[in-house]
Structure 1
Amino acid sequence: MKKTSQPDKPAPQFIGLTFWYQLVVFLFLSVASLVFASSVLVPLSFAALLFVLLTATSDRISRLKLMGRNIPKWLAHFSALSVVVIGLLIVVSILSSQAGEVSEAFPRYEERLSSILAQVVSIVGQDNYAAAMKAFKQINLAGFASGVIGSAGAFLSAFFLVLLYVPFMLAERVQMQAKVKLAIPDAETADKVRQVLKSTSDSIQRYVGIKTLVSAITGLGSYAVMASVGLDFSETWAVLAFLLNFIPTVGSIIGVALPSVVALVQFEETVPFLIVLIGCGAVQFSVGNILEPMLLGKSLNLSPFMVILALTFWTAVWGIAGALMSVPITVCIMIVLSNIPPTQPIAILMSGDGKIGNVKEANS
């Protein structure tokens, strides 16, 4: 009797059954890669943002007229690179030169802060005052300040390694359109890809350029307020205000609180403290809530939850470098997603008001 052949049983479909498990593993490996490769990825990420800033600056310079002609591309690139490098040198020189002075000044600030603390805490009772003074003496403010300023100086000094990537990125930009044409034979598809890349690049350039501009205005405005009362190390606090402006919400609070505390312990009167507190707070509020939204518009605003989520995630992954780049990186991701039709719903969910300016452009 002839045996009927039984159909082979299909192999177990592990992909469908373990989709969420695979997704969790993928996310875990991605985060682990970000952490363990941070020594490479952090400079590369800074280089990418610096490249965007350079291209935005060079494009603006190239539109200028020189003797009736547009400025050559190579001269625009060189001018933009010179401006960024000079600015970076100023920032690094200020932090590195004043780090030691800040450390030396803090023992004097500790005495003044101790007397202020005594006046405040003594109101609540001698026992609470003694406990507070014991806790205060255990805090090494001089070492803490020296470590923060020194770490910032070392961080910015190491930032020069980023310049190794930037020239190659600038050279790669020139050949990108030719590479897209060779990689995508279909002319219509290649044209769409070029349009998406151009729209994405323009949006990112606009965001990074305006964010850097408003941060510089914040730093200069804060410096004007602090210098008007003769605050010690006004240049250092102004540079930190510029850098901290890239950190959402928390950065602005620290940028106001730090010089205010220094003014409180430096001067015997409370007027300089109030001037620094109100003045720097007014600068932060005006730039962050009036000038920046006016220049950027609402189309690039992240939702408050996404801002906090991005800040928490990137700080946990890359520390202070991640905190500084959290919003720029997330906004850049949102801009890229908004220019790709299948991922536009994700960009809409990430935005603050659900209106992505690039959606209409990408669909048109």
Structure 2
Amino acid sequence: MGQPMNVENNDTANTAKLRLPVVRDVSIVATLMVLGLYAGSAFLIPLTLALLINVLIIALSDRITSLTRVPVWLANIAGVTVVLAGLFVIMYILGSQATQFARSINTYEAQFDGAVNRIAGLIGSDVTSFIRDNLISIDMSYVARVLLGSATSLLNHFFLISLYVAFLMAERLAFRKKIQLAAGDPKTGAEFAAILDAITNSLQRYVGVKTFISLITACISYSVFKVLGLEYAETWAVLTFALNFIPSIGSIIAVIFPAMIALVQFESVGPFLIIVLGCGTLQFMIGNFLDPAMLGRSLNMSTFLVILALTFWTTIWGLIGAFLSVPLTVCILIVFSHIPALRPIAILMSLDGRLTEDQRASAGST
């Protein structure tokens, strides 16, 4: 009886010894990857943006082909033209009006103290003192420079991103064949193709739906800004469109900035309340009802993971990392779900523990 117990103890000890090198190697690889992402951000950010834009163009060209029955090459040209022209307009507005706003930010800071006093009767002196002590201490010029710097950086990289997109579209059809040839084994090639298909489908759905929802939100908000006569209405509309891609806090920031400008610009608090209550309610309704209804459970990401990914990618790549946090994490989740050794991590990253292929298998069995 004693010998089997010794064998079992030896197996347990060997398993523990094997796990330590694995944990060590995984930690080293993860650390090197994080350092590589940080050090190579100047190269990786334009490439990542180009890949996401390429996914959006493919989704748009496929939709054009299905609706109009035009040739694929013509649909690809139309998709590239529409997406890149839209991105150029967005970055041009940010680059032009944001520069003017950055120059006049000191004027707004000087007038903000008087504007806070206008809402003292609505919210009480204690809250007014808190706002004065905390919001006025915020260096708005620094915030404006950060936003302007990000917009300028994107504008400077626009040509490089466009070049990446052009070559990616040119090799769209040949890329799948090259994967099959590079894999050698047909089974391995099929697995790679399945991973790419899953990533492409999830990203197409996410980027397409978020672009549509953000465009609706930006158009409605822009209408409100123009009716009120808010300064730099185009800039706030573009920021509303862009910030909706940042999970959780993006929609809040999209309301705070124009509301603060309205508080300074107008003598009454009416426009401020319209933006806070009207646009805030719009963001809440879209974020809690329309967004989940259109995206459904296709992403199936844990809410905590979304916040964690937002923090991580913002720390690594700054503001642009915040925009890319969800798409990048979706890619990681899908890749992990197709690797048996990393599948438990993918299950922990998911919302309900069911991965995409599990849901498809259960749907097929029923």
Task: Return the TM-score normalized by structure 2.
Answer: 0.83
- For structure 1, which segment, 219-228 or 241-250, has the greater mean C-alpha deviation from structure 2 after superposition? 219-228
Aligned equivalents of 1:201, 1:139: Cα separation in 2: 41
Aligned equivalents of 1:195, 1:140: Cα separation in 2: 48
Aligned equivalents of 2:88, 2:221: Cα separation in 1: 20
Pick from 127, 146, 149 the counterpart of residue 148 of structure 1: 146
1:10 maps to which residue? none
Distance 1:189 1:170, change over 3 A: same
1:52 corresponds to 2:50:
no
Aligned equivalents of 2:148, 2:186: Cα separation in 1: 54
1:260 maps to which residue? 259
How far is 1:265 from its partner? 1.1
Pick from 5, 24, 29 the counterpart of residue 26 of structure 1: 29
Distance 1:344 1:62, change over 3 A: farther
SS at match of 2:268: coil
Q: Deviations over 1:258-307 (max 9, x none)?
A: 11111111111111111001111122112211111111102314212101
How far is 1:39 from its partner? 0.8
Q: Deviations over 1:21-53 (max 9, x none)?
A: 322222211111111111111111111111111
Runs of 5+ unmatched residues, structure 1: 1-13
2:275 maps to a residue whose letter is V
Aligned equivalents of 2:190, 2:30: Cα separation in 1: 33
| 1:1-364 alignment runs, 5 A limit | 18-65=21-68, 70-117=69-116, 120=120, 123=125, 132=133, 136=136, 141=140, 143-144=141-142, 146-160=144-158, 161-184=160-183, 187=186, 190-191=189-190, 193-338=192-337, 343-361=342-360
- For structure 1, which segment, 194-203 or 243-252, has the greater mean C-alpha deviation from structure 2 after superposition? 194-203
Bigger CA radius of gyration: 1
Q: For the aligned residues, what is the CA RMSD?
A: 3.0
How far is 1:325 from its partner? 0.6
SS at match of 1:235: helix
Is the Cα–Cα contact under 8 Å of residues 299 and 351 in structure 1 kept in the other structure? Answer: no
SS at match of 1:165: helix
Task: Return the TM-score normalized by structure 1.
Answer: 0.83
Length, aligned pairs only: 341
Aligned equivalents of 1:211, 1:205: Cα separation in 2: 10
1:150 maps to a residue whose letter is L
2:212 maps to a residue whose letter is L
1:154 maps to a residue whose letter is T
SS at match of 1:232: coil
Aligned equivalents of 2:339, 2:188: Cα separation in 1: 13
Q: Percent identity at matched positions?
A: 43
- For structure 1, which segment, 332-341 or 97-106, has the greater mean C-alpha deviation from structure 2 after superposition? 332-341
Aligned equivalents of 1:241, 1:287: Cα separation in 2: 13
SS at match of 2:327: helix
Aligned equivalents of 2:342, 2:125: Cα separation in 1: 59
Aligned equivalents of 1:205, 1:348: Cα separation in 2: 22
Runs of 5+ unmatched residues, structure 2: 1-16
Distance 1:219 1:155, change over 3 A: farther
Q: Deviations over 1:197-241 (max 9, x none)?
A: 334322221122112221222222221222221111111111111
How far is 1:338 from its partner? 4.0
Is the Cα–Cα contact under 8 Å of residues 338 and 359 in structure 1 kept in the other structure? Answer: no
Aligned equivalents of 2:117, 2:276: Cα separation in 1: 22
1:7 maps to which residue? none
2:149 maps to a residue whose letter is S
SS at match of 2:307: helix
Distance 1:307 1:16, change over 3 A: closer
Larger helix fraction of residues: 2
- For structure 1, which segment, 291-300 or 339-348, has the greater mean C-alpha deviation from structure 2 after superposition? 339-348
